[in-house]
């Protein structure tokens, strides 16, 4: 069974003769205990074109030490990585293979580097023996596989102990710097080994001619494709907000294909858009359930106890558990499907050989400004149509369509920000406010449907349906409040100066 460890560490350049200064002079460190030398032997795996290394991921099988086994390291931020560990086995465990699927696809991972290290370990302890950090002096011998260059170096590594204040690392670094020891320029041992043996991953090519509409649109497309790939393992690990972020990347990408049909040929992008719609839909079951569950639980918690009649909280928990489990299975089934991997390959193919049209070769500002204005005009039509309808089911549907148009207009403005600057940023902010109001309305509509179902279930088994009806009424009021708020918010997003500023 795989386990996760948050790894917070810093690396420093050294030689075999570099002395480690007295670290008991570091605030909070009362003793430095020598733990001896460990011999570590690690083989790092990647695709032949080093896709994992290109994304700063490492996959290794290591023997020696107290954590031997298979490890994947995902970067979190500078100096922080999540290490996923599985027991030692001859082949890569399936649980870890799944975390790499969006990058590896149908290819095999192969040995690319072997690192043999002599690790001289010292523990930095408080006066009561609590471990603050582990410092190691590593003498590393790297060999490029199957037959390649070799390299040798020494480095100092300081890793924070669990539940320890990161300020300890700052204090240790200050002491090391005073001794002339400087931070390493390599983010990891693997990165240094690849550099020193002449096998660095090649950076992705810049799409299109700089300054053109094609380059601007394709750069944004690449960002969203990368986001889908990067959020895949986070969804599998059930990290907070991962499903939402992956779904947003699908929507942004699909929206971009629609917005920029003058730049990218829809004969290619329409089919990709349908596949993105499918993927977002499969992920959406989990996300929509998460949003609804959170909303209903919050509303129940806000009620006075005297108004919570019957096993309301228990019924919500059962509903959440049953539907949440089903939604997660559905999302994972989609991510493990051949259809999903084909989509990722097709998106890569689009970036490798973009289906550009004539407008792609034109200057980016004019093409992007026109596209943004067009999407805002489309949103205007939908908002005005919805507001002209009487309150009721038809208006609810029209407001939902306006919400989708608001997302598209906002995504178009976001994509144009690197080209159009502050005017696009201002428009995106105003349209986001419209989207938020419309989102609150739609959430209330969806919640009413769920509350009616819960009320019927409670009534059917002889429970009181009073609380469900009360919550239903509150959702009606929330939807009505959003409808009253919309005209003023829309007025801010539809100001004539916002669109005109895009072309100045």
Question: E strands along 183-316, which residues?
Answer: none
CB 96 within 8 A of CB 28: no
Cα 476 from Cα 15, distance rounded (Å): 70
> What confidence category does residue 190 fall into, taking pLDDT thresholds of 50, 70 and 90?
very high
How many residues comprise the chain?
504
Treating both helix axes as pointing N-terminal to C-terminal, what angle do 213-236 and 242-259 enclose, rounded to 10 degrees? 160
Q: What pLDDT, in 10s, does the model give residues 10-68?
A: 999 998 788 999 999 999 999 999 999 999 999 999 999 999 999 999 999 999 988 89
Q: Which helix (H) or strand (E) holds 195?
A: helix 189-196
Mean pLDDT of 450-466: 93
CB 154 within 8 A of CB 139: yes
pLDDT of residue 16: 76
**CA-based nearest residue to 459, from 297, 299, 309:** 309
Looking at residue 463, what DSSP letter applies?
-
Mean pLDDT of 447-459: 94
Give Cα separations from 302 to 321, 479, 480 (angstroms): 21, 18, 20
Same fold, 3-196 and 213-501: no
> What confidence category does residue 504 fall into, taking pLDDT thresholds of 50, 70 and 90?
low
Q: What pLDDT, in 10s, does the model give residues 215-270?
A: 999 999 999 999 999 999 999 999 988 999 999 999 999 999 999 999 999 999 99
> What confidence category does residue 148 fall into, taking pLDDT thresholds of 50, 70 and 90?
confident
Say whether pLDDT at 1 is over 80. no
pLDDT of residue 250: 97
Say whether pLDDT at 199 is over 90. no
Average pLDDT, the chain: 93
Q: Rounded to 5, what percent of the chain is helix, strand, coil?
A: 55, 20, 25
488-504 residues labelled b (16+ CB within 10 A) or e (exposed): ebbeebbeeebbebbee
Cα 366 from Cα 108, distance rounded (Å): 45
Say whether pLDDT at 275 is over 70. yes
* Strand-pair category, 80-86 with 69-77: antiparallel
- SS3 of residue 349 by DSSP: helix
Mean pLDDT of 347-351: 96
- SS3 of residue 284 by DSSP: helix
pLDDT of residue 92: 95
Cα 256 from Cα 224, distance rounded (Å): 10
pLDDT of residue 271: 97
Fold of 3-196: Hypothetical Protein Pfu-838710-001 (2.40.320)
Q: What pLDDT, in 10s, does the model give residues 277-315?
A: 999 999 988 778 888 889 999 999 999 999 999 999 999
Q: What pLDDT, in 10s, does the model give residues 389-429?
A: 999 999 999 999 999 999 999 999 999 999 999 999 999 99
What's the CATH number of domain 213-501, 3.30.1490.100, 3.40.1550.10, 1.40.20.10, 3.40.50.2300?
1.40.20.10
Mean pLDDT of 354-382: 95
Domain boundaries, the chain: 3-196, 213-501
End-to-end alpha-carbon separation of the chain, Å?
Answer: 58
pLDDT of residue 501: 73
Residue with tokens 């973009």: 354
> What confidence category does residue 80 fall into, taking pLDDT thresholds of 50, 70 and 90?
very high
Take residue 261 and report the two structure tokens written for it: 């049909």
- Model-level pTM? 0.91
Mean pLDDT of 129-154: 94
């Amino acid at each position: 069974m795989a386990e996760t460890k948050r790894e917070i560490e810093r690396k420093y350049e050294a030689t075999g003769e570099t002395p480690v200064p007295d670290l008991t002079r570091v605030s909070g460190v009362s003793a430095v205990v020598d733990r001896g030398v460990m011999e570590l032997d690690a083989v790092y795996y990647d695709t032949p074109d080093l896709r994992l290394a290109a994304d700063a991921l490492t996959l290794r099988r290591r023997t020696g030490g107290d954590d031997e086994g298979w490890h994947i390291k995902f970067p979190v931020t500078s100096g922080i990585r999540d290490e996923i560990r599985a027991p030692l086995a001859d082949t890569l465990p399936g649980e870890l293979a799944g975390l790499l699927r969006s990058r590896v696809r149908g290819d095999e991972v192969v040995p690319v580097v072997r690192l043999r290290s002599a690790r001289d370990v010292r523990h930095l302890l408080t006066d009561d023996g609590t471990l603050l950090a582990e410092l190691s002096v590593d003498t590393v011998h790297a060999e490029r596989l199957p037959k390649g260059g070799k390299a040798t170096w020494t480095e100092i590594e300081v890793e924070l102990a669990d539940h320890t204040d990161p300020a300890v690392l700052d204090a240790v670094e200050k002491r090391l710097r005073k001794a002339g020891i400087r931070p390493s320029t390599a983010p990891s041992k693997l990165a240094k080994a690849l550099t020193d043996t002449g096998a660095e991953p090649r950076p992705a090519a810049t799409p299109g001619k700089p300054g053109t509409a094609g380059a601007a649109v394709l750069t944004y497309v690449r960002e969203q494709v990368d986001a889908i790939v990067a959020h895949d393992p986070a969804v599998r690990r059930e990290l907070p907000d991962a499903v939402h972020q992956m779904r947003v990347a699908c929507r942004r990408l699909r929206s971009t294909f629609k917005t920029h049909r003058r730049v990218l040929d829809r004969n290619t992008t329409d089919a990709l858009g349908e596949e993105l719609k499918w993927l977002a839909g499969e992920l959406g079951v989990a996300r929509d359930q998460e949003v609804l569950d959170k909303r209903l639980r919050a509303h129940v918690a806000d009620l006075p106890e005297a108004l919570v009649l019957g096993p309301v909280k228990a019924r919500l928990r059962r509903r959440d558990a049953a539907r949440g489990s089903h939604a997660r299975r559905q999302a994972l089934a989609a991510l493990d499907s051949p259809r999903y991997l084909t989509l990722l390959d097709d998106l890569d193919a689009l970036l490798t050989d973009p289906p550009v049209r004539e407008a792609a070769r034109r200057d980016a500002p004019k093409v992007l400004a026109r596209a943004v204005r067009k999407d805002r005009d489309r949103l205007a039509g939908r908002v005005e149509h919805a507001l002209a309808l009487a309150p009721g089911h038809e208006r609810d549907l029209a407001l939902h369509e306006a919400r989708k148009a608001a997302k598209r207009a906002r995504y178009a403005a976001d994509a144009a920000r690197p080209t159009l600057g502050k005017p696009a940023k201002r428009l995106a902010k105003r349209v986001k406010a419209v989207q938020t109001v419309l989102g609150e309305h739609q959430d209330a509509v969806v919640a009413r449907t769920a509350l009616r179902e819960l009320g019927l279930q409670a009534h059917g088994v002889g429970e009181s349906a009073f609380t469900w009806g009360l919550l239903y009424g509150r959702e009606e009021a929330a939807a009505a409040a959003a409808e009253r708020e919309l005209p003023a918010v829309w007025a801010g997003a539809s100001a004539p100066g916002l669109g005109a500023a895009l072309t100045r």
